[in-house]
């Protein structure tokens, strides 16, 4: 991994705000791979990404249907790999069409099939923080190529939003680069 940014949110709405920043800066072909334990906020973050992309409906986790498609500023392909048993099951679902398409791809439980994702994807690990509603997010970019990361701008925007003392989001604490 190359660029990484680690920070803490203190509520579900703060986690969704992070997602909104991600969605607002998303470009065609972006791939966001979400990992973390059950209940850590993957769907909450996905809802924020959808909002940032201008998706009008409320996003729900596609745990049982595995894959949904939503229209916003860009097409959002939302996948949940929780129920798969083998990484190649995800590929058999037609995942390659979403990953190589023009929209934005958000994959929950991506660690269940990490070997099938292309280099240069953006990995977002969510975990429980010290308080009941606290979550720790670490955003890292897979350094699969020598080209500058397409997600560098996103990480800079998040650093500005969550490290700034003047920012109104006082409940979100930046933990710096790691």
pLDDT of residue 86: 85
Average pLDDT over residues 158-165: 70
63, pLDDT greater than 50: yes
Q: What confidence tens digit (pLDDT) does each residue in 119-130 have?
A: 888 999 999 999
CB 1 within 8 A of CB 178: no
pLDDT of residue 143: 64
pLDDT of residue 165: 32
* DSSP tag of 85: S
Q: What confidence tens digit (pLDDT) does each residue in 34-61 have?
A: 999 999 999 999 999 999 999 998 887 7
Q: Which residue has the higher pLDDT, 96 or 20?
A: 20
Q: Which residue has the higher pLDDT, 101 or 161?
A: 161
169: pLDDT confidence band, cut at 50, 70 and 90?
very low
Extract long-range pairs of 53-57: CB within 8 Å, 24+ residues apart.
Answer: 53/23, 53/24, 53/26, 53/104, 54/23
Which domains does the chain show, CATH number per domain? Answer: 4-177 (3.40.50.300)
Rounded to two decimals, what is the model's pTM? Answer: 0.85
161: pLDDT confidence band, cut at 50, 70 and 90?
confident
137: pLDDT confidence band, cut at 50, 70 and 90?
very high
145 vs 165: CA distance, rounded Å: 34
Q: What confidence tens digit (pLDDT) does each residue in 86-126 have?
A: 887 877 777 777 777 789 999 999 999 888 888 888 999 99
């Amino acid at each position: 991994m190359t660029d990484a940014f680690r920070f803490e949110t203190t509520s579900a709405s703060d986690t969704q705000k992070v997602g909104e920043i991600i969605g607002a800066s998303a470009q065609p072909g972006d791939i966001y791979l979400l990992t973390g334990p059950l209940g850590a906020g993957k769907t909450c973050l996905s809802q924020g990404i959808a909002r940032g992309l201008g998706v009008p409906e409320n996003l729900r986790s596609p745990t049982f249907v595995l894959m949904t498609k939503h229209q916003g500023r860009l097409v959002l392909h939302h996948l949940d790999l929780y129920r798969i048993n083998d990484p190649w099951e995800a590929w058999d679902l037609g995942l390659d069409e979403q990953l190589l398409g023009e929209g934005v791809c958000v994959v929950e439980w991506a660690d269940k099939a990490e070997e099938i994702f292309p280099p240069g994807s953006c990995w977002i690990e969510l975990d429980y923080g010290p308080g009941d509603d606290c979550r720790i997010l670490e955003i890292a970019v897979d350094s699969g190529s020598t080209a500058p990361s397409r997600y560098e701008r996103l990480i800079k925007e998040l650093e500005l939003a969550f490290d700034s003392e003047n920012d109104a989001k006082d409940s979100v604490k930046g933990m710096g680069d790691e």
